[in-house]
Amino acid sequence: MAIHVVTDSTACLPQGYAEEHSVTVVPLKVSLDGEYFRDGIDITADEFYRRLVAGAKGGSTQPSPEEFVSAYRAILDKDPEGDIVSLHVSGRMSGTLNSALTGCNQLGTTHVRLVDTMSAGLGIGFPTMRAVELAKAGASLSRVVAEVEALCLRTHTYFVLDSLKYLQRGGRIGKAAALAASILKIKPILALIKGVTDVVDRPRTKRVALEHLWAIIDKHVQKGIEYVGFHYAANRTELEDFQREFASRYRLPSILTQLGPVVGNQSGPDIVGVVITETKSQ
């Protein structure tokens, strides 16, 4: 009995990974000045960031339940005895998981197990990749779900933004907090904690913020790292340099991926994103 893996476009998987490993990616939709595009299909990330920087007003919306019905049915029509593990962006950040649940109910199937990763970006991507590995190894459905849920709890996402205005526009932080950070020139280190964005440090400059971010990375490396990845938006060169520095310091492999338009609509065009999964505690 095969296990199939489904996720959504906020997973920001490495380019070509979904096609190579037969992962179904259900796209969210992003808008620019009221015009909607399917994330990763109808508009490239580079074009999205170009228009965002030029002043376009961004927005996003989750897939409809019918889109999940279509995705699940396409898999189960080909493999009626198969099972699906469907991993998605934090239910506290998006209605995507709720749409997936509604789609399951409409389809009337017991062959789909939903996972709230409580994250975004590679915080979804790494559990998705683990689900693929386990499915290919012939693991049972219950084991796949248990292991990816445990991996989600060991996964930590940190990011430093050039500006908080995009988070403020998206309602992730208050206007007063964004204004105060701008006036005081604070470059906070943000993290996804229990599925929502929170501040873990408040350095006064980006240089200091990055120094503190390296200190956070170092603490995780000392504990042991299973996966590590870096996110950029429109600032690829900066993150390539950051990734090279990581390799130089720790001699560990890592992944570099671009944030897609839906996540980038919240972060803005300049982000230093770090996603770390610690190894299992003994």
Domains in the chain: boundaries: 3-28+63-153, 155-278
Domain 155-278 belongs to what topology?
Hypothetical Protein Tm841; Chain: A;domain 3 (3.30.1180)
CATH code for the domain defined by 3-28+63-153: 3.40.50.10170
pLDDT recorded at residue 179: 39
Cα–Cα distances (Å) from 190 to 45, 93, 173, 203, 212, in that order, read 22, 15, 11, 11, 12
pLDDT recorded at residue 178: 40
What predicted TM-score, i.e. pTM, was given to this entire model? 0.93
Cα–Cα distances (Å) from 17 to 24, 84, 128, in that order, read 11, 18, 11
* Residue that is written with structure tokens 């808008």 in the block: 31
pLDDT recorded at residue 184: 41
pLDDT in tens for each of the 282 residues of the chain? 799 999 999 999 999 999 999 999 999 999 999 999 999 999 999 999 999 999 999 999 999 999 999 999 999 999 999 999 999 999 999 999 999 999 999 999 999 999 999 999 999 999 999 999 999 999 999 999 999 999 999 999 999 998 777 876 655 444 334 433 443 467 889 999 999 888 888 888 899 999 999 999 999 999 999 999 999 999 999 999 999 999 999 999 999 999 999 999 989 999 999 999 999 875
